[in-house]
Amino acid sequence: MASIYKTNSLSHTVLLIDGNHFESSQLISPRIIEILKKKSKKDFKVFGIIDEHGNDIIVAPFVSKENRSATALLEDVRTLGSVAQKVSVAVQLETISVASELSSELNFAFLEGFALTNYSFSKYKSNSSPQLKDIYVQENMLNDQAIGTLNHIVKSVFYARDIVNEPLSGLNAKSLSESAKSFSENVGIQYQELGIDTIRSLKMGGVLGVNKGSLNDPTFTVLEWKPENAVNTNPIVLVGKGVVYDSGGYSIKVGDGMKTMKCDMGGAAAVFGSIYLAALEKLPLHIITIVPAVENMINEKAIVPGDILTISDGTTVEVLNTDAEGRLILSDALVYARQFNPEFVFDFATLTGAAMRALGSEGAAFMGTASQEIKDLVQAAAYYSHERVSEMPLWEEYAEQLKSDIADISNLGGPLAGAITAGKFLEHFTKYPWLHFDIAATAFLSHSSSYRLAGGTGTGIRLMLEFFKRYIANVQK
Ligand code: BES
Ligand code: ZN
Ligand code: ZN
């Protein structure tokens, strides 16, 4: 992984300049000013030239368009950073130093877009696509703390992308949990994996039921970040869906439906990545992360439609569709969260195709019972990080779709409002303020979009960092 360092030496450089006022820029040579003068501002794009010493100069002119919100401008400059990374790689550079004359907030966003583009999952490639080895920034571009944060974001997001991109053959429930153990040891997070005997003795019928068709045991991982200076008395609990593969079970997926289902632990990646980043940043917050992990597979022991499972709180569920498995394992985790008397619980899950159809990959659906104050903080963090979210209602009428003739509830709603009926199912198991994030469309992309590259995106982590910062500031107010 390329890290970001400070330097004062100039060789191959990326110059982030103010495209609105380039004529007076101190950063670029008269020759570059002449080149820019010949173009109209709306046609400005990143370009490379070679200076008189033979160094590559990549010019990134940032034109702040009118009527853009502050958060939209941040995203514009992240995308500019992403393009600058691609141009740097295209001209075959291995290291680059970035200089800028913009504000530190814009510099941060530019480098974020740049660094998040500098990723490839090349473990299984004989010839991996080249990336920059290191990224240097000029002394005055960002302070040390901001550079530290950038490196922490890159580390945690790349961890999440890696585990989402890893197929079932390389990542099962056990190795998913072990990946969390590895990062936890380095940053002072307490790691616990309950083990199959405890999962059985706690009667986690959702986790055990979904995993019945697998040859491997499920895992149930609990991480805790508890710094002495935590500003919250009760912990914030994050729950993540850890289905390392979702074949659908006997309600088997058809067509291309199964092709990307290694991504079904994207919720686990989001919450593992979020607590990792919180610890790297030494945030003064008490956070607990819970990940139930299973394989949703088929063999002669697998559950079938019509089976009844008993969740750890005693709720009986008629499984009318084995492909609605995420809610079954999450219910055991949401029950387990009760013992911590949480301030609030957020769950992240690649839960429904319905959320995907509703919003596409431009944002995640969220819903829940947390206070308006918490929801407002989430929204502000979502726009700032550009990991946007849109709220769906949890009106009581939706629960009627989950009625079962022979059990307490069924795991299958009707043909409409599938993201919401999934949320209603989860709500049944919550006894605390709670929000559910359905990241089915945003956790994994089939095509790259700016710095969100094709494959696992690591979504949710930058959202949570911004949320945590706002939450801390709010408490301290
Ligand atoms: N893991 C899927 C949801 C999903 C779909 C994630 C596409 C990412 C991309 C989930 O377990 C699922 O299969 N949901 C079903 C629920 C239905 C049977 C009620 C769905 O959305 O079709
Ligand atoms: Zn499924
Ligand atoms: Zn699933």
pLDDT tens sequence across 187-218: 999 999 999 999 999 999 999 999 999 999 99
The tokens for 335 are 């029950």
Local confidence band at 129 (pLDDT 50, 70, 90 cut-offs): confident
Rounded to the nearest angstrom, the distance between the alpha carbon of 324 and the centre of ligand 2 is 5
Measure the CA–CA gap between 323 and 210, rounded to whole angstroms. Answer: 9
Average pLDDT along the chain: 96
Binned at pLDDT 50, 70 and 90, residue 90 comes out as: very high
Residue carrying the six token digits 């008397």: 341
Pocket test for ligand 1, best of 323, 411, 416, 424 (most atoms within 8 A of CB): 323
Tell me the per-residue pLDDT of 365-386, one tens digit each, with 9 for 90 and over: 999 999 999 999 999 999 999 9
The finding on whether 440 has its CB within 6 A of some atom of ligand 1 is: yes
pLDDT, mean of residues 396-414: 98
Taking alpha carbons only, the member of 299, 256, 290, 264 closest to residue 166 is: 264
**What tokens appear for 92 in the block?**
């075959």
Kindly indicate the confidence band of residue 93, based on its pLDDT and cuts at 50, 70 and 90: confident
Is there a contact between 170 and 238 (Cβ–Cβ < 8 Å)? no
Is the pLDDT at 447 greater than 80? The verdict is yes
Rounded average pLDDT over 441-449: 98
- Would the CB of 323 count as within 6 Å of ligand 1? yes
**Does position 393 have pLDDT exceeding 90, yes or no?**
yes
Band (53; pLDDT cuts 50, 70, 90):
confident
- Tell me: pLDDT of 477 over 90: no
Q: Which candidate in 155, 327, 424, 462 is catalytic?
A: 327
CB 353 within 8 A of CB 425: no
Lowest mean pLDDT across 119-133, 151-165, 184-198, 404-418: 119-133
User: Which helix (DSSP H) or strand (DSSP E) does residue 98 occupy?
Assistant: strand 95-100
Mean pLDDT of the region 324-347: 99
Atom of ligand 1 lying closest to residue 353 CA = 21
pLDDT of residue 10 exceeding 70, the answer is: no
pLDDT at 351 over 90: yes
pLDDT of residue 6: 85
Which pLDDT score is estimated for 15? 96
Instruction: Residue 315: name the closest of 402, 429, 394 by CA.
Output: 429
Cα–Cα distance for residue pair 190/225, rounded to 1 Å: 7
Exposure string (b/e) for 75-101, b if CB count within 10 Å is 16 or more?
Answer: bbbbbbbbbbbebbbeeebeebbbbbb
Ligand 1 atom nearest to CA at 354: 21
Does residue 8 carry a pLDDT above 80? no
| Helix, strand, coil share of the chain (percent; to 5) | 40, 20, 40
Tokens representing 353 are 């195709």
Nearest-CA residue for atom 17 of ligand 1: 324
Q: Is 430 a residue whose pLDDT tops 70?
A: yes
In the reported structure, the alpha carbon of residue 323 is separated from the centroid of ligand 1 by a whole-number distance in angstroms of: 7
**pLDDT for 323:** 98
pLDDT of residue 52: 86
How large a percentage of the chain has pLDDT more than 90?
92
pLDDT tens string 278-311: 999 999 999 999 999 999 999 999 999 999 999 9
pLDDT, mean of residues 241-246:
98
